[in-house]
Amino acid sequence: MQPPSTNSHNQREHVYIYLNWLRYSFVTQGGNISRRTLRHFREAANVPTPDVIVNCLGIAARDLVDDRAVYPIRGHTVLVHAPHVKIAISRLGKDVTYIIPRENGDVILGGTMESDNSDPTVDLSTSIAILDRCEALYSGLRKGMVYKTSQVGFRPARKGGVRVETEVLGYQTSWGSSNRVVELIEQEWVQLENKARL
């Protein structure tokens, strides 16, 4: 028996547009972005010397902070142009299946969730299986549909859950985690100021 599918009326973001908006918001509020190559996260404390470092490395935390609890979840998706698809639909279960339309008529079809798999190779049989599962969710999906590409990406996961903590040198849940990070920074800052007064 198939799990029930759901129609989504939640807010969805086009990741590329969302990330550009985040960057724009950060920079216009005085933030500075610089690119560096680091062998270990602690090197970030030296170039230039920052007041606060927020580690939100995702999968890279496995190597840059020696966190062996971090692992990738491999996701395989198919991008098609199907402007007749106007609603998002998802089905959870053994084979995660979802249809996410974008405002430009493109539609993301998914997908897979393969724990601890870091293979970046697109697999044709997986793309076909995704198309078949999505067609079962949305009858008429392929009518007028134009295939664009298949993609593989990786979400970070961590055994034991997301790690949000502070450490004095000398962080996939976006808003909720970032709010907690700000609280931790403020608490740590007060403690440092109190120590400096002693």
Q: Residue 106's domain is classified under what CATH number?
A: 3.30.9.10
pLDDT, tens only, 50-61: 777 777 788 888
3-state secondary structure of 17: helix
- Give the tokens for residue 81: 């142009």
Burial 51-81 (b: 16+ CB within 10 A, else e): eeeebebbbebbebeebeebbbbbbbbbebe
pTM: 0.69
120: containing domain: 5-33+69-161
Give the model's pLDDT for residue 149.
97
Classify residue 46: in a domain, yes or no.
no
d(CA 46, CA 1): 57
Classify residue 101: in a domain, yes or no.
yes
Classify residue 167: in a domain, yes or no.
no
Classify residue 52: in a domain, yes or no.
no
For residue 87, CA distances in Å to 18, 55, 101 come to 20, 36, 7
Based on the structure, what is the number of domains in the chain? 1
